[in-house]
Structure 1
Amino acid sequence: MATTPAAPPAAPPDDGVLRTNDGVPLKTTLARVNRRQKLVAVALVLPLLGFILVTFLAPIGMMLFRAVDNPVLQEQIPRTVALLDAEWDGASVPDEAVFATLAEEMIQQYEVREIAKVGTRLNYEQGGLRSLITKTARTIARRGEPPWRETFIAIDERWADPQTWGIIQQAAPRYTLSFFLAALDLRYDWQGDIVEQPEREQIYVFMFGRTLWISGLVTGLCLLLGFPVAYLLATLPMRQSNILMILVLLPFWTSLLVRTTSWIVLLQTEGVINDVLVWVGLVSDEGRIQMIYNQLGTIIAMTHILLPFMVLPIYSVMRTISPSHMRAARSLGATPARAFREVYVPQTMPGVGAGSILVFILSVGYYITPALVGGRTGQLISNFIAYHMQKSLNWGLAAALGTLLLVGVLLLYWLYNRLIGVEKMKFG
């Protein structure tokens, strides 16, 4: 029996569109390939995005939240707070109902050993309230009885002062700006107005200023010392340049703690540097220079530690500058100094900018070195953040200080971008 021959494949439509062998438009095929490549790229990047989210963005978000989060009074004495908001006139002593509600909630929190949280939160607003809260709660839990208003006032006359109740009311909202105000040496008074902290408690604005001053000075010193070193690295023969590069990188191979404690040995009053100065006769044995546990020690140690972060970006840019540029300037009549100043130095600005902003940002957040060698006058704002996180446990104030520090760094980055341009920054 004869077989019917197979029909030939249909010819692609003659519409002027480029197609693949199977008749699919080439544009559609390319779109599928690009989409597949993008999905593969996203899959490869997802682990990194997850790592950044967990280790970087989430802690920053938590810090921002902590700076305004104020749950203590809402959780510990919620009914007292609600009664103050609803019934208290803000000018006189509250009525018996408020005292009775507070007594009941104080007894409950005292029995579960949580009343100290209330006192600690109120103590942030005014010193002495922690002892008032704990003393009152202990007394009424053991032998307190109605009428509660007279009982509270008999325990401490501050309960008859409207200011005490005003402070409780001001510290009660679930979210507050009081931590940010404290970080700027301001506070809410008992009537809700923003006022300055007492002069003896105004410290944080000064510490921010000191931090910026020391960071700027360290950045300038690193630039002054690092620019010649980078120039030598870029112009010396390879053999000498490699040896010098090893010396520049050597601090990276040594623990930061070891480098900092080494400066303590060198700079202390009976240390190596003072001994040398006495030996050569520059200072007397009684006039040894105090170079440690002060601002000078912080500046010296930080400059040494951060110097490589200035040298390497500048060197990476200098390596790309052709020597013919200087020769051309000389051939056109420029002196060596003028050729260096007007031809060579402008080409190094991307590296100078990158190194400067890197060193400055690292300096602003430095903690270990000022803590070890700074003493009283060499502490930076980061040391106060650590203090509130570890000792005073005022996490709200620590978060507010950290947030202001972060905002300052972002403003610096924005200013650098406006004046110089981030696209001109080069790290290598």
Structure 2
Amino acid sequence: MTTTTLDGGAAAPSKSNLKSRLRRAERLRKLKAVGLVAPLALFLLVVFVVPIGNMLFNSVDNGSLRQVMPQTAASLAQWDGEGLPDEATFAAFADELRDSRSGGGLGSVGRRLNYEDSGYRGLLMRTLMALPPQSDDWRETLIDIDSAWGDTATWRGIKAAAPPRTDRYLLASLDLERGADGEVQRVDEEDRLYQAVFQRTLVIAGGVTLICLALGFPLAYLLATLPAKTSNLLMILVLLPFWTSLLVRTAAWIILLQSNGLANQTLMTLGLVESPLQLVFNRTGVFFAMVHILLPFMVLPLYSVMKGISPSYQRAAVSLGAHPFAAFWQVYVPQTVSGIAAGTILVFIMALGYYITPALVGGPADQMVSYYVAYYTNTTNNWGMAAALGSILLAVTLLLYLVYHRLVNRKQMIGS
């Protein structure tokens, strides 16, 4: 609403009108901001949040048997696990086993039960082939077909696969299991595998990160202090691995490090060794290849931080009587903490998920968690174990990141 002056002209808008215009302008600004962020948020939701949520769900999902044999699963849920189930359970199992042939249900049930014992798939197939259309006593009929149906352990295995959710995969990924009494216990020593695999993964990723830091810090410092023309030329060499296929780089390291490769031939020509060294298909080859591939991810964050540090700080410290190394260590290095943090966490997280390089360059004792995730995904179709291993690796990564982030922040606070 506007007011009119004595000469007939319009006065300034009222205070309420100004407030409404400001509110509309603020809403419009927020809508524009949401519109700009929405595509990125949708992208992250589709390619990041949904896959991780699906992985976490699959790590505890146990719905295969319940989907194909709902009546059997419900009956076994009421069974106390002692003796044999009642006749109604046997009858429901026989009817649903016959119906499971259509739609691929039998395959999913057999695959799930085989995780409990490798003989279930064959037992189901034999039983289905000999199953009669009708029976007055399904318990005796199934036991006559195969004596395994008279064994309590057989039904306990099916009962373990009946609940919609299970911690079996997560426990197995930590070399744990539930005993007959339901208590969590460690698996037999000869069956323990995954704790050593996780330890090996952390050791390799940590070693690669430390080597990349030791090599990348002086390289980034050199690039940041050289003239721009020389620095740009060297930066091209640093970025060169990005323009080469990962498989090509890995294959090149196999050729260089093999017994008759360039590295061994050079060492033997110089007289440093008398016979070829084993540099490939072991931990040494893994470190060589992974450091070469991940080194640029350490150099670039360090370089971006070092480029913004003025050299006058070091010169001022030296002019005040500090030793050049002391000036570098106490004045320059603390200013690069953010670059060190970014580079190390980037390299470490990427190294944790490496699969192709250790699989091709390493030996059987150098395979990381990602190898077993790929194995369960592509070879055995055990999505539960693959998702459980991935979930535990994700949890370990987040935990280490939180610890690292707190330590870096504490160091920065102390330094400031």
Query: Does TM, scored on the shorter chain, surpass 0.5?
Result: yes
Larger mean Cα displacement after TM superposition, 96-105 or 52-61: 96-105
Residues 102-121 of structure 1: pairs in structure 2 closer than 5 A: 102-110=93-101, 113-121=104-112
> What displacement does 1:282 show?
2.2
- CA deviation string 1:196-255 (max 9, x = no partner): 223333211111111111000000000011111011111112222122111111111112
* Equivalences for residues 7-26 of structure 1 within 5 A: 9=8, 21=13, 25-26=17-18
Q: Which amino acid aligns with 2:158?
A: I
The DSSP-based 3-state class of the residue aligned with 1:383 is helix
Query: Which of 272, 277, 295 does residue 282 from structure 1 map onto?
Result: 272
Alignment pair present for 1:341 and 2:341? no
Residues 92 and 162 of structure 1 are in contact (CA less than 8 Å); yes or no, is this contact kept in structure 2?
yes
Distance in 2, Cα, partners of 1:145 & 1:36: 73
Q: Helix, strand or coil: the match of 1:377? A: helix
What is the one-letter code of the residue matched to 1:189? G
| Range 292-301 or range 106-115, more displaced | 106-115
Instruction: Give unmatched runs, 5+ long, in structure 1.
Output: 1-5, 13-19
Is contact 1:115-1:137 (8 Å) kept?
no
Corresponding residue number in structure 1 for 2:68: 76
Residue by residue over 1:318-355, the C-alpha shift from the partner in whole angstroms, topping out at 9 and shown as x without a partner, is 11121111111111211111111111111111111110
TM-score after normalising by structure 1? 0.89
Residues 387-402 of structure 1: pairs in structure 2 closer than 5 A = 387-402=375-390
TM alignment of 1:199-218, pairs within 5 A: 199-218=189-208
2:24 aligned with 1:32: yes
The letter of the residue matching 1:224 is A
Kept after mapping to 2: 8 A contact 1:116/1:133: no
Residues 107 and 347 of structure 1, relative CA distance in 2, 3 Å threshold: same
Are the equivalent residues in 2 in contact too, given 1:118–1:133 (CA < 8 A)? no
Counterpart of 1:124 in structure 2 is 115
Match of 1:229 among 219, 222, 232: 219
Q: Of 251, 260, 270, which residue of structure 1 is paired with 2:250?
A: 260
Q: Which residue of 1 aligns with 2:234?
A: 244
2:283 aligns with 295
- Give 3-state SS (helix, strand or coil) of 2:185's partner: strand
Counterparts in 2 of 1:135 and 1:235: CA distance versus 1, 3 Å: same
Residue 59 in 1 paired to residue 51 in 2? yes
Distance 2:103 2:331 in 1: 74
Provide the residue aligned with 2:125 in structure 1. 134
Normalised by the size of structure 2, how large is the TM-score?
Answer: 0.91
Q: Which residue in 2 is equivalent to 1:168?
A: 158
> How high is the sequence identity, in percent, across the aligned residues?
51
For residue 15 of structure 1, what is the aligned residue in structure 2? none
Q: Which residue of 1 aligns with 2:174?
A: 184
Q: Of 343, 357, 372, which residue of structure 1 is paired with 2:360?
A: 372
Larger radius of gyration: 1
Q: What is the rounded CA distance, in whole Å, between the counterparts of 1:162 and 1:407 in structure 2?
A: 37
Gaps of 5+ in 2: none
Cα deviation for residue 190 of structure 1 reads 4.4
